[in-house]
Amino acid sequence: MRSLVLSALFLTAITQVSYGQENIEYNEIQQNVINFLERVAISSASCDLFKELLAKNPSNENNKKIMLGYCDSDIDFSKPISFSEMSTHEFEGVSYVCGIISGRTKINKKLGARFISAEPYHLILNVKYSRRPIIYTSDNAYLANEYHLQLRSFNELNEKYCQ
């Protein structure tokens, strides 16, 4: 009886320790996703500039379009964010963590991004935003095509590493 109780306590302790290790790893990955998205984000000064230009001339449709592109394409990390659907997958002996980060833009609209991270290095392989208005503000077919290629690349990696 005594060994049964000790075994149960041991299993409980091991489960808690391994659960804690997974959470620590996910916390590190979450911070790396935040750091990555902050590095690739559009400068907030650009958003502020176009907000000022639009305030001076609210009827200028071109400035409004550009302001939306600059202010609505990235997560604003000064506002609350959350992570969801985080899961670990194995492919050819390598671990990958896939998940979603959600937050709000500088003009307070919801925005999310799916991500794929290679472990144990926390290397962000690719990101797919729920929407990306900056791509369409310039009416540049090349940028739109590049964005679609990036989406295709993400979808291929997601199918390979996250399913």
pLDDT at 27: 93
Mean of pLDDT values over 147-161: 96
Determine the pLDDT at residue 135: 87
Shortest CA distance to 113 belongs to which of 99, 101, 98? 101
Pick from 115, 150, 120: which is nearest to 132 by CA?
150
Share the mean pLDDT of the chain.
86
The predicted pLDDT at position 17 comes to 38
| pLDDT, tens digit (0-9, with 9 covering 90-100), for 2-39 | 554 434 444 444 334 344 444 448 999 999 999 999 99
Express each pLDDT in 57-75 by its tens digit.
999 998 899 999 999 999 9
Angstrom distances, CA of residue 69 to CA of 37, 50, 152: 16, 10, 22
pLDDT of residue 43: 86
What percent of the chain has a predicted confidence (pLDDT) above 70? 85
Tell me the sheet residues that pair with 101.
83, 113
pLDDT in tens, 97-139: 999 999 999 999 999 999 999 998 889 999 999 999 888 887 8
Q: What is the pLDDT of residue 2?
A: 53
Task: Supply the Cα-derived Rg of the chain in whole angstroms.
Answer: 21
Can you give the pLDDT at residue 22?
46
The pTM assigned to this predicted structure is: 0.80
Between CA 56 and CA 60 the distance in angstroms is 9
